[in-house]
Amino acid sequence: MRTEGVRGVVADAALVAGKDLRLERRSKVGLSQVLPFALLVILLFAFALDPDRRVLGAATPGLYWMVVLFSAVLAVQRSFGVEGEDDVLDALRLSGLSAPGIFLGKVAALMVQLLALEFVLAIAVAVFYGTEISGILLLVGVTTTATVGIAAAGGTYGGLVARIRGRDTLLPLLLLPLLAPVLISATRGTEVALGRDAGPGWPWVGLLGIFGAVYLTLGALLFRPLLEDA
Partner 1 sequence: MTTTTTQAASDRRVAPTSTSSTATRVLGISSVVGLALLVIFGVFVSPPDAELGQTIRILYMHVPTVSVAYLAFLITAVGSAMYLWKRTEFWDLLAASAAEIGVVFFGLTILNGMLWGKITWGVFWRWEPRLTTTAVLLLTYLGYLAVRAIPADPRTRATRSAAIGLLAVVNIPIVHKAVDWWRGLHQERTIFGTTKPEIQGTQAFAAYLGLAVFLLLFAWLLIHRFRVAFLAERAAESGLGAAIAERRQEASESSATAVSHSEGDR
By CB under 8 A, residue 59 contacts partner 1: no
How far apart CA 118 and CA 123 sit, in angstroms, is 9
Contact criterion met (CB below 8 Å) for 145 and 213 = no
By CB under 8 A, residue 203 contacts partner 1: yes
Residues 143-172 that bind partner 1 (CB under 8 A): 153, 156-157, 160, 164-166, 170
Contact criterion met (CB below 8 Å) for 155 and 79 = yes
Pattern of binders to partner 1 over 82-121, x per CB under 8 A?
A: ---x------------------------------------
Which residue, 148 or 226, has its beta carbon nearer to partner 1?
A: 226
Q: Please tell me the count of residues contacting partner 1 according to CB under 8 A.
A: 33
By CB under 8 A, residue 31 contacts partner 1: no
Residue of the chain from 188, 190, 205, 220 that contacts partner 1 (CB under 8 A): 188
By CB under 8 A, residue 229 contacts partner 1: yes
> 4-12: which pairs have CB atoms within 8 A and are 24 or more residues apart?
8/98, 8/101, 9/98, 9/100, 9/101, 9/104, 10/101, 10/104, 11/101, 12/97, 12/98, 12/100, 12/101, 12/102, 12/104, 12/105
How far apart CA 47 and CA 2 sit, in angstroms, is 55
By CB under 8 A, residue 214 contacts partner 1: yes
Contact criterion met (CB below 8 Å) for 146 and 73 = no
| Binding positions for partner 1, rule: CB under 8 A | 85, 153, 156-157, 160, 164-166, 170, 173-174, 177-178, 180-181, 184-185, 188, 199, 203-204, 207, 210-211, 214-215, 218, 222, 225-226, 228-230
